[in-house]
Structure 1
């Protein structure tokens, strides 16, 4: 069985964000971290070298592949912030309505700046994503 590439690390979230070159993106990252911590009830942790994750769930696919992943997360990248707070399922697309300006990725949404996003809608999206993950994979969160 292949080892997961993205696992939780002991690296400092604050040091990682402070190393982000763009000041607006740095400020947006701190704001997004506060929002996701409040919504999830979990402190931020580094997952791999560049993803800031909140909480954890254990997944197991029909193929037998399994592992742990954060309930919510984001990664400040040069072009945009990758936000991992959307299931990608068609039945959840209505949660993106009114969210603001973003681009869709395969497993995330890309946000240029947080001022383009409605914080209330993002909070709702995060809550629904957590509910879906808990319903699908069980409430097997661990700190």
Structure 2
């Protein structure tokens, strides 16, 4: 049976992907986020699917017992907003969100229209805390 998780790591070039973004501000924010993630994670980026930039990976087990892999941390500079994958942080501790600036959230993502709308130091703390929680839940 094929994997249900269609978002897989691949060898597409991260910089080429970001440079292909038409909106100048979104492209610039994507490049800035790339540097933030490299700094916070200490890892190199990898494309996941066609539009997600991931750092690291983890393995989780489905109810069926089958194991899947997904990015440990990452973001996507989507047309509508910057989607920042911090599900572990959002599920455990969202107090930093009060100091972040203009944003929206879902169960798994933090959505930001532009980096200028948020405190980048708080964003770095959120990414770092998310990674700490992921490391506890899914040790390498």
Do both proteins adopt the same fold according to a TM-score greater than 0.5, normalized to the shorter chain? Answer: yes
Kindly tell me the number of residue pairs found equivalent between the two proteins. Answer: 138
Alpha-carbon separation, structure 2, partners of 1:135 and 1:28: 30
Work out the CA distance in 2 between the residues paired with 1:86 and 1:101: 18
- The whole-number CA distance in structure 2 between the counterparts of 1:128 and 1:62 is 27
Give the alignment of 1:39-78 within 5 angstroms: 39-78=40-79
Question: Which runs of no fewer than 5 residues in structure 1 stay unpaired?
Answer: none
The more displaced of 101-110 and 56-65 is 56-65
5 Å-filtered alignment, 1:20-39, equals: 20-39=21-40
Alignment of 1:47-126 (within 5 A): 47-87=48-88, 88-89=90-91, 91-126=92-127
In 2, Cα distance between equivalents of 1:30 and 1:95: 24
TM-score calculated relative to the size of structure 2: 0.91
C-alpha distance in structure 2 between counterparts of 1:46 and 1:24, whole Å: 21
d(CA) in 1 for partners of 2:21 and 2:132? 31
Task: Give the stretch that moved more between structures: 98-107 or 30-39.
Answer: 98-107
Higher strand content, 1 or 2: 2
**What is the distance in 2 between the residues matched to 1:66 and 1:98?**
37
Structure 2 unaligned spans of 5+: none
After TM superposition, which residue ranges in structure 1, 4 or more long, deviate above 6 angstroms?
none
Structure 1 match to 2:137 = 136
Shift of 1:70: 1.5
Residue 135 (structure 1) shift: 0.5
Contact preservation (8 Å) 1:103, 1:110: yes
In the TM superposition, residue 2 of structure 1 has moved relative to its aligned partner by 4.7
Q: Deviations over 1:65-109 (max 9, x none)?
A: 4311112111111111111124231x3111322111111123101
Conserved? CA contact 1:86–1:126, under 8 Å: no
Are the counterparts in 1 of residues 87 and 108 from structure 2 also a CA contact under 8 Å?
yes
